[in-house]
Structure 1
């Protein structure tokens, strides 16, 4: 295909825009979104839809605004959990540009419908992942891929680093009875892949409905390898607002299926654990309150919770051990007075089955629990190798 004058102008303009990155000492790691030379030509003369959120940035600027300034014809936006601009704001039109916004998270199917894709030639998916099975942006990508496959639309995934891609761990979701929006694939809790790698896995393993294949292009991250440390410029979601919370998240999110607060309703969510009934067990306390844009009605709102403070916890332990922390879950279950009320039904969806809950109730040790994850965990690790785009840890 010949390069048109318009394409050349778009690329030149992109280079000028990205010059601002260089002046700010562009990090060695370059996300796919910032590698505009790899995908701008594919957008020329096309009506483009974007599946994006507040983490979708080019050199700190929203990708929507940047692409429009480069002459890209963006006609529709698809938003995930927490909304397009972040902060749990859901609008049918983007206030700044007037472009229609389709709220996928609050729709009944989580998936773009055929009428949503009318007038769309090509789709871009660009969101920051944190590398765990129950993070819903992963499920959103699955449904976007499926909709594009069913409606004959090409999908470009602009890849980004995964902050938790230095290990693989947790029980594998095996029983389809526990499939949900927080667990759609037969993978462990910590999957160790970027979104680009995972999209290739979804396609090749036939996980889309009826085995359809998505016309997929992945724009890779430059100068990246698994396990390489980096710091995100934008929080991926309202309650993952520090790197500490992101590293703790694979271990602490399971508590969302229990009576234990993970700090929602504080400015340090996923960095503390506690419950009002544990006053006799712990001295540290915090009180969840309503915080607009983060947690409007957090568990145990306006009630003092007693537990542990993990804000200074050495998260390098996860990198060194290659394991999520199960000891906190076992400890809080053992310390909670009303054990028959400790677990909620949501726990089994997060854990990928009811085995982990039963094992903790039965008093199994962490080693015994981990042994039950095999051979599926090792089998997944072998399958994962087929889809690596970057040097592994």
Structure 2
């Protein structure tokens, strides 16, 4: 992975045209991984519900997960607001007119009609039972999986053949992921080469302070989450980094957190998190625990307001934060979806014009990497915390100390 990232950066820098031509390698890898995500989400959630053996136990895990996800989102918004107000990345920045970038914004909005917070609820219910797996949205899959899981609990022994078939399908999917993941260095190579070839190493320019602000805010949030895991389970941050380094490198190279979902589940189980809990918390986290997106929303919004010299009163900032609690759930771990969530936020509140977001498009790929890394780490730590909250005792896998 490191060789692929470095080689892609070098080719994109020295031969931009060749780097742009390598873009399909990254796109093909992400598409190959994402095509497996809906069935994996479905099977792991159904298994998680069934393994609990009772709707009450499953409901308790869901409530704990949602409560923790909400708390993480609140902390993420608070950290992002504090760091942005301290660094003031938008001060003195020349902003293009509201009309600039209109075509790019229209392209970002294509395929997702954003009408407000109610749109989030409507998107949960698919048009048909099977369209949930073809729409490219995680929310309908979560809804259908929940119905099937609780339905299997209701019919009891009559559903045992279906449960066995789902368990076998899960094993098959993990085997397929094992084949596909071997192409991760090639995918990262193509994705990085295209990005650097298109935007150049010197992409920072006048927006460098915004990138640094987002990175600092996300780093602070990750430090808080890792500290919480260390206090509750005894697993330190360096050990977590060592255990999940391959997954983080894949996320860094592809800017997508979805591609490592099955590997996160496997490694969390190895750490002692029950399969029934991990099968619920990890998939749910991909829609309800996008901590990186939450930080990005408040950082980008305050950045644009400052750059446009739009004063926001404490009450207006509080309203933005309340809206972001909802809109931060509008992205489902897909590359660039955080930008769509930003557009939704700005479209709901009139103070900051939506058109100003056009200035962020050129560096959104790099901001997306920071968001994806943060959300992936948040999902890992949240699963460990929920497992500990539920009475499990996660710890280092057997033999890890000797391997070190």
Output the TM-score relative to the length of structure 2. 0.23
| Higher normalized contact order (CA 8 Å, seq sep 6+, divided by chain length) | 2
Structure number having the greater strand percentage? 1
Output the TM-score relative to the length of structure 1. 0.23
Structure number having the greater helix percentage? 2
